[in-house]
Structure 1
Amino acid sequence: MESALAEIEFLALSSNRVAVLETLAEGSHARSELADVTGASQPTLGRILRDFEERRWITRIDGEYETTATGRMVAEGMTDLLATVETETKLRPVTEWLPAESMAFDLGRLRDATITVPSRMRPSAPVKRINEALGRATDVQVCSHAFNEGTLETVRERVVDGRQRFEGVFSRTAIDALAEDDTLRVRLRELTGAEGTSIRRHSEEIPIAITIADGRVYLLVRDDDGVLQASIDTDDPEVLSWARSVHEEYWDAATPLEPEEL
């Protein structure tokens, strides 16, 4: 264990070492090419190459360096470790509020996700990001415990104009909250009766808020008091598959909402 940690430390303490090993894992390179790719000085590069040769991570053939089988293994492991830590660092501000028990996919799939958090100047930034996506999308599925006025209006306009297909399943409380307001009830009725729309009402509280807009997943993250903390969006295929399965699960367990009910 200690020797393995020492080797990890050896690599991790130098970004140049990591860059050289990852570059060679992609293919053979001359020393001059490694200098161009990494920006390392010749003395530094010389020390790195000697250290790697001593560890049998690289070999020199016809004037070019390439990784050995074990060198490639170390490079791949280091790349995976860096990706994992980068993802964890990215998610750390919202980790405590992630619905981890419902997220049936490797969190590493969120490496390239966009995380939008509220700020003093933009307190509604997470919702705004989703509504901007809804304002462009042609195909939308929503599974949520909430259906706010802004989302309703954005979707209604596009659906009524024939520019969007919408399938939404919401908690009963979300539908009831809109129906209590005369103006919003009329807009919801118009949306529900429009061609290209299917809305269902779930009898129980849906504990998650997912929007799928043209194949991109948007997840709203709230704290224990229901205060919005962030939106996370990604087009990762595994996350998309998970989101669609969640939507289908709640959709199948819900009942259709008819315009005359409003």
Structure 2
Amino acid sequence: MDDALSEVEFLARSANRVTVLQQLARGRHTRGELGDITNASQATLGRILDDFLDRSWIRHDDGEYIATATGRLVADSMTDLLSSLETEAKLREIIDYLPTHAMDFDLEHLADATITVPTEMRPSAPLKEVLAVMEDAAHLRVFSHAFNDQSIDIVERRVQAGEQTFEGVFAESAIAAIAKTEALWKRFKSLAASPDASVRVRTDGVPLAATIADGTVVFLLRDGRGLVQASLASTDERVLEWAVETHDHYWRTAVPFDPDRYETAGSDDT
């Protein structure tokens, strides 16, 4: 373990070492080419290459350098480590709100995700990101513990215009909340009654809020008080596969939406 940590430290102390080894793992390079890539001096490159030769991570062949099998192993491992650390740093701010317990995929698949957080100038930025994705989708699938008025407005309008198909599965608490506002309830029932929309209700609840808009998956992340803290959008194939499978699971374990169950005489119009 100590020897391995020493080698990690040896590489990590110099970005040029990492770059040179990664480049040589991809193919042959002369010292001059490596200098152009790294902007390192020839003296620095000489020390790096000598250190790598001593470790048998590279070999010198006809004026060019190339990684050995063990050199490629080290380069690939270092690349994976750096990628993991970059992803962790990206997710650090929102990890407390990310429902990782329900996500059956490695977080590395979120490396290229777009994260939007509220700012003083744009406090509603995360929700607007989700709404923009919903607005553009031809086929929209949602599984969620909430469904706000702006989302209902967009989906009901686009579905009724024949511009979108919709499959939504919601926690029973979400439907009950919508039913408390008469105008919103009317629009939601109109959406659910459309031939291009299907709505189901899950009595066991839905522990997260996710939208599948064509090939994009968007999570709306809330804190323990229910306040939106971020949105996260991903087009990664594994994330999309997981989202579709999860939607299908919630769909199969839900019941068709029946508005009569939620009609209340005391609904208001606020």
What amino acid is aligned across from residue 239 of structure 1 in structure 2?
V
Report the equivalent of 1:65: 65
Report the equivalent of 1:256: 256
Q: Verify: 1:112 aligned to 2:112, yes or no.
A: yes
Q: Which moved more, 1:141-150 or 1:193-202?
A: 193-202
Alpha-carbon offset, residue 260 of structure 1: 6.9
Structure 2 counterpart SS, 1:167: strand
Report the equivalent of 1:23: 23
Alpha-carbon offset, residue 140 of structure 1: 0.9
Distance 2:128 2:101 in 1: 26
Distance 1:161 1:64 in 2: 64
Q: Verify: 1:166 aligned to 2:180, yes or no.
A: no
Structure 2 counterpart SS, 1:20: helix
Q: Which runs of 4+ in 1 moved over 3 A?
A: 258-262
What amino acid is aligned across from residue 63 of structure 1 in structure 2?
G
What amino acid is aligned across from residue 22 of structure 1 in structure 2?
Q
Report the equivalent of 1:80: 80
CA contact (8 A) 1:169 1:254 kept: yes
Distance 2:21 2:160 in 1: 56
Alpha-carbon offset, residue 6 of structure 1: 1.2
Report the equivalent of 2:144: 144
Report the equivalent of 1:134: 134
What amino acid is aligned across from residue 227 of structure 1 in structure 2?
L
Structure 2 counterpart SS, 1:200: strand
**How big is the alpha-carbon RMSD for the aligned residues of Structure 1 and Structure 2?**
1.4
Structure 1 counterpart SS, 2:84: helix
Distance 1:174 1:130 in 2: 18
Structure 2 counterpart SS, 1:147: coil
What amino acid is aligned across from residue 6 of structure 1 in structure 2?
S
What amino acid is aligned across from residue 218 of structure 2 in structure 1?
Y
Distance 1:223 1:88 in 2: 19
Structure 2 runs not aligned, ≥5 long: 264-270
Alpha-carbon offset, residue 96 of structure 1: 2.0
Distance 1:245 1:189 in 2: 26
Report the equivalent of 1:187: 187
**1:54-96 Cα shifts (integer Å, max 9, x gaps):** 1111111111110011100000000000011111111111122
**1:153-177 Cα shifts (integer Å, max 9, x gaps):** 1111111111111100011221222
Q: Which moved more, 1:170-179 or 1:104-113?
A: 170-179
CA contact (8 A) 1:144 1:206 kept: yes
What amino acid is aligned across from residue 70 of structure 2 in structure 1?
T
How many residue pairs align between the two structures?
262
Q: Structure 2 length normalisation: TM-score?
A: 0.93
Structure 2 counterpart SS, 1:101: helix
Q: Structure 1 vs Structure 2: percent identity of aligned residues?
A: 50
Distance 2:228 2:58 in 1: 50
Structure 1 counterpart SS, 2:24: helix
What amino acid is aligned across from residue 171 of structure 2 in structure 1?
S
Report the equivalent of 1:241: 241
Alpha-carbon offset, residue 213 of structure 1: 0.5
What amino acid is aligned across from residue 29 of structure 1 in structure 2?
H
Structure 2 counterpart SS, 1:29: coil
Distance 2:199 2:228 in 1: 24
Alpha-carbon offset, residue 26 of structure 1: 0.5
What amino acid is aligned across from residue 165 of structure 1 in structure 2?
T
What amino acid is aligned across from residue 108 of structure 1 in structure 2?
E
CA contact (8 A) 1:190 1:259 kept: no
